[in-house]
């Protein structure tokens, strides 16, 4: 049984109880988040890493009883809540869970006009970001692969496309 404690016999021949820490990562709607990296850190075991599978469940097994363990997920496209969980002391098999939200990106820059007097900020210039992005609300417009986000530069020629979501969970 994967979730029962078991005994590991170490090289010195004494029996030391071990436990496991298992869990899952879900998004705002309760669906599993795939491909997150999970780092488990402890003074006893150093750093161990697991990558969540298609159901984003994970298991760190053979952990010494009584230890202190901190688990932290990372993923290029997601933020997590909480950012880490510490189990101390580990006295039994423990199940933990993390929530996640898709990371939103900012695209910004400055538009300048070059004329006889040099570089001049181009204010009030219409800017358009076109692509098969997720809409700002997190919904994907499946009827049209092209989504437009429009902004104008400020008086200093600066623009910001805020809250841009990536095209997919696999790439930015």
- Say what the pLDDT of residue 84 is: 97
Q: How confident is the model at residue 136 (pLDDT cuts 50, 70, 90)?
A: very low
Helix %, strand %, coil % of the chain (to 5): 0, 55, 45
Q: What does the block give as tokens for 48?
A: 């161990």
- Say what the pLDDT of residue 45 is: 66
Which one, of 75, 31, 69, lies nearest residue 51 by Cα? 75
Please tell me which residue, 54 or 148, carries the higher pLDDT value: 148
CA–CA gap between residue 137 and residue 102 (Å, rounded): 11
- Say what the pLDDT of residue 3 is: 32
Q: Given phi > 0 = left and psi -120 to 50 = alpha, else beta, which region is 83?
A: alpha
Predicted confidence (pLDDT) per residue in 45-75, tens digit: 677 777 665 566 888 998 999 999 999 999 8
Average pLDDT over residues 19-31: 88
- Say what the pLDDT of residue 145 is: 53
Give the three-class secondary structure for 73: strand
Which one, of 136, 129, 48, 37, lies nearest residue 78 by Cα? 37
């Amino acid at each position: 049984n994967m979730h029962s404690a078991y005994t590991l016999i170490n090289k010195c021949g004494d029996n030391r109880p071990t436990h496991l820490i298992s869990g899952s990562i879900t998004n705002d709607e309760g669906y599993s988040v795939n491909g997150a990296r999970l780092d488990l850190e402890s003074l006893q075991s150093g750093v161990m890493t697991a990558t969540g599978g298609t159901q984003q469940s994970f298991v760190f097994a053979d952990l010494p009883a009584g230890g202190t363990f901190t688990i932290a997920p990372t993923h290029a496209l997601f933020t997590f809540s909480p950012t880490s969980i510490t189990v101390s002391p580990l006295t039994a098999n423990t199940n933990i869970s993390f929530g996640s939200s898709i990371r939103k990106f900012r695209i910004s820059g400055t538009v300048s006009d070059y004329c006889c007097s040099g570089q001049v900020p181009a204010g009030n210039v219409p800017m358009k970001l076109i692509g098969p992005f997720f809409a700002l609300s997190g919904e994907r417009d499946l009827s049209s692969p092209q989504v437009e986000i429009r902004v104008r530069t400020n008086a200093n020629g600066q623009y910001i496309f805020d809250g841009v979501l990536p095209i997919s969970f696999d790439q930015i």
